[in-house]
Amino acid sequence: MVLVSLLAAVTLAVQSISALAIPPLEAPAVRREWTSLTLAARKEYINAVLCLNSKPSIIPAGQIPGALNRRDDFTAVHINQTFGVHLDAVFLGWHRNFLYLYETALRDECGYTGYQPYWDWSKSVNNISAYPLFDGSEYSIGGDGLYDPSTGAYDLGPYHFDHGAGGGCVTSGPFTQLELHLGPIPISALFTQTLPSNWTLRNNHCLRRDFNVPVAQRFSNGTAVAHLLDAPDIGEFQSRMSGVGNAPPGPHTAGHLQIGMDMFDVFSSPNDPAFFFHHSNVDRMWTIWQARDPQNRQFALNGTTVNYDPAGAPIADLYTEENWGVLGQPKPMLELMSNRMFDFNFVYEDMQA
């Protein structure tokens, strides 16, 4: 476990900024909570997602036959990178840029004029279906899945959760006709560190959800968020964010689990548009936590570049280079550590400077 010293980080940052001749920052973009948006703004976002879904994949022909459109590109890259960007030191930074690339695609390719909204988990803990992001209206990203009694329970280490009220295809909202082409991939692949040989092939299926209010109430409430933000160092913050080993699910894991089905597929979860709202709030948590003690937290890293930080895995540092395949250019971790440096210039609405 390694904590990068502030002095080394700042020296490297200054050298890099000087070399790149980065201009002074303009006013930052503001990412807003979904319920803060007007109905027109919500509709604009939904239409941009549908637009991205209609555009052809840019993955070279034959590499991933199941990637048919631009949304599939994001799912494919996430699947392909999963073993190196979860439950390790690069999880937060890698997903920060993944989210930024998706936001940029919505804006540059589909004319969206806003920025990626976030889902404040605390607003939906007692009734996910009543929260405007998931209420099934035309101004939402759809509701729960059709009830499927065959849906199994969820087991995470010593924790057992009954399935929720859905399990089948989403039947309300603007994404009822959304056809997914990649996944699902069994969670067992996470432990064998081996993807199924046929993961690149087309597998048409609907968007499925299984809302689970008990999970939300227990692991996404205000107390859980406060516990996360009270973490004394980056190692503990990472652990509390996801939950590892026999620890209870953290807010990150709980967000995926309470939506369920496609969102709970650790590999292909970007299939569900909810993924990007959830990870916008994950990034918001990291940004808030960093801002509480920037001197010690802005460039703090802890762990390796492999899931679960196994012994002998490469230790991550600010020079560690991450990549996003066809979605964007490789970047060192240094460029992913601040929401106001390098390519990033955004804030969240409740922490505007």
Q: Is a pLDDT exceeding 70 seen at residue 3?
A: no
In the chain, the percentage of residues whose pLDDT exceeds 70 is 92
Q: Mean pLDDT across the chain, nearest whole number?
A: 93
The mean per-residue pLDDT over the stretch 63-88 comes to 98
The mean per-residue pLDDT over the stretch 262-266 comes to 97
Given a contact cutoff of 8 angstroms between Cβ atoms, the answer to whether 216 and 281 are in contact is no
Beta bridge partners of 33: 118
The mean per-residue pLDDT over the stretch 197-202 comes to 98
Supply the pLDDT for residue 140: 98
Write out pLDDT tens, residues 111-166. Answer: 999 999 999 999 999 999 999 999 999 999 999 999 999 998 988 878 899 999 99
Q: How many CA atoms lie within 13 A of 143 on its CB side?
A: 14
Supply the pLDDT for residue 10: 46
User: What is the reported pTM?
Assistant: 0.93
Tokens (6 digits) for 3: 């904590």
Q: Is 159 exposed, middle or buried (0-12, 13-18, 19+ CB in 10 A)?
A: middle
Helices (H) and strands (E) in the chain, counts: 11, 10
The mean per-residue pLDDT over the stretch 174-195 comes to 95
Write out pLDDT tens, residues 17-75. Answer: 434 435 446 899 999 999 999 999 999 999 999 999 999 999 999 999 999 999 999 99
The mean per-residue pLDDT over the stretch 307-327 comes to 97
Q: Is a pLDDT exceeding 70 seen at residue 78?
A: yes
Supply the pLDDT for residue 25: 61
Q: What is the dihedral of CA 19, 20, 23, 28, to 10 degrees?
A: -120
